[in-house]
Amino acid sequence: MLDYDSIGELARRAASEAVTIGRLVLADQAEQLDLPQDALLRRMHRNLDVMRAAARDGAQKELRSTSGLTGGDGWRMEQYAASGRALCGPLGGRAIAIAVAVAECNAAMGRIVAAPTAGSCGILPGALLSLLEAGRVTEEQAALALFTAGAVGMVIANNAGVSGAEGGCQAECGSASAMAAAALVELQGGTPEMAAHAAAIALKNQLGLVCDPVAGLVEVPCIKRNAGGVANAFAAADLALAGVRSVIPVDEVVGAMREVGGAMPCALRETAEGGLAATPTGAALREKLFGRGD
Burial class (CB in 10 A: 0-12, 13-18, 19+), 148: buried
Instruction: Give the integer Cα–Cα distance in Å for 218 and 83.
Output: 29
Which residues, in sequence order, are CB contacts of 105 under 8 Å at separation 6+?
54, 55, 57, 58, 63, 74, 111, 112
Q: What are the C-alpha distances in Å from 59 to residues 71, 85, 90, 110?
A: 9, 19, 17, 12
Question: What is the closest distance, in whole angstroms, from the C-beta atom of residue 220 to another protein in the complex?
Answer: 11
Using rule CB under 8 A, residue 147 touches another protein? yes
Query: Considering the rule CB under 8 A, would residue 181 count as an interface residue with another protein?
Result: no
Cα separation of 67 and 137, whole Å? 37
101 near another protein (CB under 8 A): no
Candidates 7, 115, 142, 227; binder of another protein (CB under 8 A) is 115
Quick check: 169 binds another protein (CB under 8 A)? no
Q: Which stretch binds another protein (CB under 8 A): 81-89, 132-140, 215-223, 235-243?
A: 215-223
66 near another protein, judged by CB under 8 A: yes
* 91 vs 157 by CB, closer to another protein: 157
Smaller CB separation from another protein, 81 or 149: 149
Q: How far apart are CA 75 and CA 135, in angstroms?
A: 22
Sites of contact with another protein (CB under 8 A): 4, 25, 29, 32-33, 40, 43-44, 46-47, 50, 65-67, 69, 105-119, 121, 124, 146-147, 149-151, 153-154, 157-158, 162-163, 165, 179, 215-219, 289-290, 294
